[in-house]
Structure 1
Amino acid sequence: MASYAAKLKTDIERWRAEGLVDAATARRLLDDVTLTSRDGISFGAVVAMLAALLLGAAILIFVAANWEALPRLARVGMLFAVILAGYLGGAGLHARGQNGAGEAAYMVAAAAFGGSIALIGQMYHLSGDEAAALLTWCVGVGLAAILLRSPALTAAAVALSVAWLWTDSWDFWRDSPLPWQWLVLATALWVVSLWTASRPARHLLLLALVGYVCLIYLRTELLAVPVVLAVVSAMFLAATGAREAASERMLRLGGGAAVHGLIGFATAMMLIQAEIFDEPAFMLAALATFGGSVAALMVAGRESRVLRWCAYALFTLELGVVYVATVGTMLGTAGFLLAAGLILAAMAAVIIRLEKRLLASASGRGAPS
């Protein structure tokens, strides 16, 4: 958001200097950009969140140490006191405008809630497993996020849902299916993230969805799973890259929607190539991966630095994959790289010529008659 705001401020100043907007309008636009870009994360908020994570880890380790010296009621009372102090203290800090410190206090309370679940189950020998405890922890933190409208708690609930999914399905080759309930939980957490304005939670959910599809593939070993993921991810990238404003109104990610499409596409293509590593179709998949990285740059690379770096990384990684696949025949590697280079050079020449024509056409329409 900060880089977008800085670029927009520069553009507004340029528009004012060129006479496209008057000084009063430029001032109002600058004030609005300054006001709406204050939702970035400050350094103090980062430090407060790190402190909260350390305190939360200390609470969990303290509980796990099996502190027998204290009576049961005293242990439970201490943890519930930390929960109450964290939530009430966080609300008080929010009321005073110290949002970063308030979110950090919420995180300490959430960690104490998880410690309470573990402690009570340990003391009273309640039946259940780690997955059930994580799910209970996730639901409790999610409810707190709704009541307190906390972005940090929403992101924490999403992380706990991913931990529950992994714990419940870590044995990839067993016969039982993946928990479809995670999809319902993820949908509910997406709605909660809209209520709490938690962009990190939505980004994490999209990444987790790609991971869920990967778990399906590991469980079923069906090649159709990554193929569908690649197609859907490519369509998502094209749609969000071509209609960035519309996709932002729908997803409210604060930018970077196309990056998720590229990540899904790259993950799917790596899975496909691992499956057909020794087959002739491998080269077709490699060419599709190269083409996908270039297409991503063409569709959304101009507006997203992160996507550009991801596309460069995918292109470089694919070069390494191709080299490993054809290392037994250096001539085959050289031939493939030569063909790929010539194809990309031809594509670059066409793109450059097309951009020049579009620029000339736009200049002609803008010229005074």
Structure 2
Amino acid sequence: MMYRAKLKRDLDRWTDMGLISKQAAEAMIEDHDGRAGNFNIGGVLLMLSAVLVSAAILLLVAANWQAIPRLVKVSCLILLIWGFHGGAAFCLAQGRQASGHALLVLGAASFGAALSLVGQLYHLSGDLLDLVYLWIGMASLSCVLFRSGAMAAFVGVLALGLAAATLDQFDFSWTPETVWTPPLLAALVTCLALFTGNIRVQHISGLLILGWLGWIYAEVMQSGLAMVYVALGVAAFAASALPLLARYMSVQIAGFHGLLLAAMGLFILNIDYDHGLSLALVAVTAVGISIVALVLRGRHDGVVRALAYLIFAGEILYLSFTTIDSLLGTSGFFLIAGVIVALLALGVSQMEKLLGTRKRPMAVEGRGRS
């Protein structure tokens, strides 16, 4: 909705400037509104309903209601699984995308409930991780067969739960399961997001990787690793701003999480180096990263802009608290930082004006030739 409002304002301005006709502007708005990926409150409500019904099914199975015979319980869940998936196939074939994806979520939830119920009733060997592995596998298969973005998100939620359960079951210790499960799950979620076109699900992959890297640092506790996080995060973010890569939304999401990784590394370094020259270097690095982020992607990406502001403000506030015993030193740092940022702002604004004056004559010349 925010993008539509901005698009409408830009089209109105371009129409007033005579760059496009009113009919062309209206056609662009109609095309935007007609695309299936746009916000639809009916589809959102259907998905919320599917989530609530799924929770009800899972809780009912967890209660293991004794008044219902075993055979009836299992038969009902099998019917629900096939019924929801059959209904999803019918709705998708009829073009009812929201209903189809909601039914797929219900079918996947019913499958997980069936796994839990069978384990309860027949006391099958195995643990929670085995159940969730099988659940994720079948949900991924459903996602691929129906090419459902909603199912990609469902798999992502299961992946978060599985990663947390794996770390908890092995007491956050260094084992093959804890080392390899989160990155493999992140790769699975990313592949499903790209395959289904629901690129926003890739944010879940980023959260999995960030949590995994945070756990690795908690095991190692070396400042050098935090520096590596900062370097890798900045490199990933800078790569996402390259013209050849910036057009891809998946790359933009990866760059945003790279900036988050750099912020996490800076947070750790601020804890490890809380005084002296080391603290000053960390502070300068944090301010520099926030400025670079604003220059590279801050103009067109509100989320990156907000994160850059947060890094800058957090570092400044942290410095003010850690150097409170030396107000003169803090004042001097703020003065120098303010002058540097002001000079950078002046230089960037002059560059933008210069580029703008060069582009306008070219645009006018192009219209004159046409």
Q: TM-score range by the shorter chain?
A: 0.7 to 0.9
Hey, what's the Cα distance between the residues in 2 that align with 1:248 and 1:364? 26
Matched, 1:41 2:63: no
> Which amino acid in 1 is paired with 2:337?
A
Matched, 1:322 2:319: yes
Q: Which runs of 5+ in 1 are unaligned?
A: none
Query: Structure 1 residue 296: deviation in Å?
Result: 0.8
Match of 1:100 in 2: 98
**1:133-166 deviation line (CA, Å, top 9, x unaligned):** 2222111111111112111111111221121112
Match of 1:168 in 2: 166
Alignment of 1:219-368 (within 5 A): 219-243=219-243, 246-249=245-248, 251-252=249-250, 258-277=255-274, 280-363=277-360
Alpha-carbon spacing, 1:104–1:327, altered in 2? closer, same or farther (3 Å): farther
Alpha-carbon spacing, 1:347–1:271, altered in 2? closer, same or farther (3 Å): same
**1:309-359 deviation line (CA, Å, top 9, x unaligned):** 222222222233223333444444333323322221222222223333333
1:131·1:168 contact (CA, 8 Å) conserved in 2?
Answer: yes
Hey, what's the Cα distance between the residues in 1 that align with 2:91 and 2:188? 28
Hey, what's the Cα distance between the residues in 1 that align with 2:132 and 2:333? 49
Using the size of structure 2 for normalisation, the TM-score is 0.86
> Which amino acid in 2 is paired with 1:103?
H
Query: Structure 1 residue 237: deviation in Å?
Result: 1.8
2:290·2:309 contact (CA, 8 Å) conserved in 1?
Answer: yes
Match of 2:79 in 1: 81
Query: Structure 1 residue 7: deviation in Å?
Result: 4.1
Hey, what's the Cα distance between the residues in 2 that align with 1:360 and 1:205? 42
Query: Structure 1 residue 32: deviation in Å?
Result: 4.7
Query: Structure 1 residue 208: deviation in Å?
Result: 2.1
User: Please, which moves more after superposition, 206-215 or 328-337?
Assistant: 328-337
> Which structure's residues are more often helix, by fraction?
2
Alpha-carbon spacing, 1:22–1:338, altered in 2? closer, same or farther (3 Å): closer
**1:280-303 deviation line (CA, Å, top 9, x unaligned):** 412211221122112111111111
1:273·1:282 contact (CA, 8 Å) conserved in 2?
Answer: yes
Alpha-carbon spacing, 1:50–1:22, altered in 2? closer, same or farther (3 Å): closer
1:15·1:21 contact (CA, 8 Å) conserved in 2?
Answer: yes
Query: Structure 1 residue 14: deviation in Å?
Result: 5.2
Alignment of 1:2-41 (within 5 A): 2-8=1-7, 11=10, 18=17, 20=19, 32-35=31-34, 37-41=35-39
2:189·2:204 contact (CA, 8 Å) conserved in 1?
Answer: no
Alpha-carbon spacing, 1:321–1:137, altered in 2? closer, same or farther (3 Å): farther
Alpha-carbon spacing, 1:363–1:15, altered in 2? closer, same or farther (3 Å): closer
Hey, what's the Cα distance between the residues in 1 that align with 2:245 and 2:235? 15
2:182·2:208 contact (CA, 8 Å) conserved in 1?
Answer: no
Using the size of structure 1 for normalisation, the TM-score is 0.86
Query: Structure 1 residue 34: deviation in Å?
Result: 4.5
Match of 1:136 in 2: 134
User: Please, which moves more after superposition, 2-11 or 52-61?
Assistant: 2-11
Query: Structure 1 residue 363: deviation in Å?
Result: 4.5
> Which amino acid in 1 is paired with 2:66?
E
**1:196-243 deviation line (CA, Å, top 9, x unaligned):** 112232222123222222122122223333322222221222222242
Instruction: Kindly report the root-mean-square deviation, in angstroms, between the aligned alpha carbons of the 2 structures.
Output: 2.9
Hey, what's the Cα distance between the residues in 1 that align with 2:139 and 2:33? 32
Query: Structure 1 residue 68: deviation in Å?
Result: 2.2
User: Please, which moves more after superposition, 255-264 or 233-242?
Assistant: 255-264
User: Please, which moves more after superposition, 325-334 or 188-197?
Assistant: 325-334
Match of 1:207 in 2: 207
